[in-house]
Amino acid sequence: MTLDLLNSWEETYKKGQLTLWIFLSLKDGDKYVDEIKSFIENMSNNTISCEEQSIYRSLRKYLHLDIVEFNLKEGNKGPERKYYKLTELGDNLLNQFIERNINLFYDEKIKKLLKKEIK
Amino acid sequence: MKTTITKPLVQFILVTTLLTILFRISLSELLNNQLWNLVFIPPVIYFILMYVSGRFFGIKEYEYLPIGDIGFRFHLSTFVVFFTISYSMSYLEYMSSSEPRGIIDTTLLIWGILLFSHFVFYQKFKRNNIKGINKEDIFD
């Protein structure tokens, strides 16, 4: 029962998380799609799994909206790769999102609640 | 421009061109041979194939980049292709004598009104999007 509820909650919770993780990976530095995918999987302890196609689709939208841009750089082998990075708009957007939605969790009272086990 | 004339749209235009030519030729042939009972077949097949083609390439377009005016761009393309081919065939006298130019003019007028209505609807939709992408589709 608990596991089913948890899975259901997580499924809803994770929807929409991909954007935040993509932006965080680009804040960490310029990356190509494989690196973005690895970053997200590693940093989220594999709780967020994403298909390359989903990342490409999101990046196409962000490119169109000038949230990200890319530079072509030589890969180790094979053709040139697109290294994506946040634009000034993207950086601004992420900072404001963090300030409005993530920083709440750094409030002492919330931090205590998160650590406290519910009995 | 790259997000307006996309690969799926170009493919759709090519298929529309082919289907419209086949539709025009088959309709004229049936009219020339006075097969009045069968003249409903080309428009029905044309409508079904155009619907399937529009849906197929429209979904491909949406998956590539969900620009909100997909429907309007596909509609406008169909309109332009249909009347370019129809008037060209009429001018080159490839059409049946049972299809006077006036029929194409009337179709152009009625369809033009529908296209304009679609444009007005699209303009209203634009209020809920950012650079053509519906706000709900940006961070889905």
**Model ipTM value:** 0.73
How many angstroms away from the CA of A106 is the closest CA of chain B?
25
Residue A117 domain-assigned (yes or no): no
Q: Report the CATH number at residue A12.
A: 1.10.10.10
Decide: B101 and B46 in contact? Cβ < 8 Å: no
B65: confidence class by pLDDT, cuts 50, 70, 90? confident
Tens-of-pLDDT digits for all 119 residues of chain A? 888 998 888 888 887 788 999 999 999 999 999 999 999 999 988 888 788 888 999 999 999 999 999 999 876 677 788 999 999 999 999 999 999 999 988 888 888 888 876 65
For B139, which of A16, A60, A64 is closest by C-beta distance?
Answer: A16
**Two tokens, residue B70:** 């997909």
- What is the number of structural domains in chain A? 1
How many angstroms away from the CA of A60 is the closest CA of chain B?
7
Contacts of A64 in chain B (CB under 8 A): 3, 65, 67, 131-133
User: CB distance from B139 to chain A under 8 Å?
Assistant: yes
Residue A39 domain-assigned (yes or no): yes
Average of per-residue pLDDT values in chain B: 89
Residue A37 domain-assigned (yes or no): yes
Residue A98 domain-assigned (yes or no): no
pLDDT, one tens digit per residue, over B74-88 is 999 999 999 999 999
What pLDDT does B68 receive?
Answer: 72
pLDDT, one tens digit per residue, over B13-46 is 999 999 999 999 999 999 988 888 898 999 999 9
Element of type H or E holding A93: helix A88-97
| B138-to-A24, B47, B79, B127, B135 alpha-carbon distances in Å | 17, 33, 29, 15, 6
Q: Which of residues 51-70 of B touch A (CB under 8 A)?
A: 63-67
How many angstroms away from the CA of B139 is the closest CA of chain A?
6
pLDDT, one tens digit per residue, over B98-113 is 888 888 999 999 999 9
**pTM for this one?**
0.72
